[in-house]
Amino acid sequence: MVIVNPKVNIAALTKTDLADIFLKKIGSYSKDEKLTPIDQKPNEVRTHFYEKILGKSDAEMKAYWSREIFTGHAYPPHSEEGDLSVKESVSNNPTYVGYIDSTVVDEKVKVVAHVD
């Protein structure tokens, strides 16, 4: 599940939106909403998100960020340790967007996309 803070005025994000945000191709989602991506350290949830939403493997993402850093275009998103850490960060910051396993979703966060 892709999550944001409940205060964020976004009902849903598309795969294209998410790819633009997580690959740092855009600086903000809209004029009114700036979203900062929060990644996870290597785990199954991250691998699933990369494959289903970004269409890339872990190795492809590592290569992508290496190129972006080398060319000075962008740096990878901050990484949290796991689902609970991402949920806590997102629930405490209205500009963060992250992804977590559906089993840890609760009222502290709002789901804006499903990772199927």
How confident is the model at residue 78, as a pLDDT?
Answer: 95
How confident is the model at residue 60, as a pLDDT?
Answer: 98
Tens digit of each residue's pLDDT (9 = 90 or more) over 43-87:
999 999 999 999 999 999 999 999 999 999 999 999 999 999 999
∠ at Cα 116 (104, 24), nearest 5°? 85
How confident is the model at residue 28, as a pLDDT?
Answer: 63
Tens digit of each residue's pLDDT (9 = 90 or more) over 91-106:
999 999 999 999 999 9
Each domain of the chain, given as residue ranges in start order, spans: 2-113
How confident is the model at residue 26, as a pLDDT?
Answer: 81
Write down the CATH number for the domain with range 2-113.
3.40.190.10
Number of H helices, E strands in the chain: 4, 5
Tens digit of each residue's pLDDT (9 = 90 or more) over 15-34:
999 999 999 998 666 667 78
How confident is the model at residue 33, as a pLDDT?
Answer: 75
Q: What span, in angstroms and rounded, lies between the C-alpha atoms of 82 and 101?
A: 9
- Beta-carbon contacts of residue 90 (< 8 Å; ≥ 6 apart): 3, 4, 5, 38, 96, 97, 98, 109
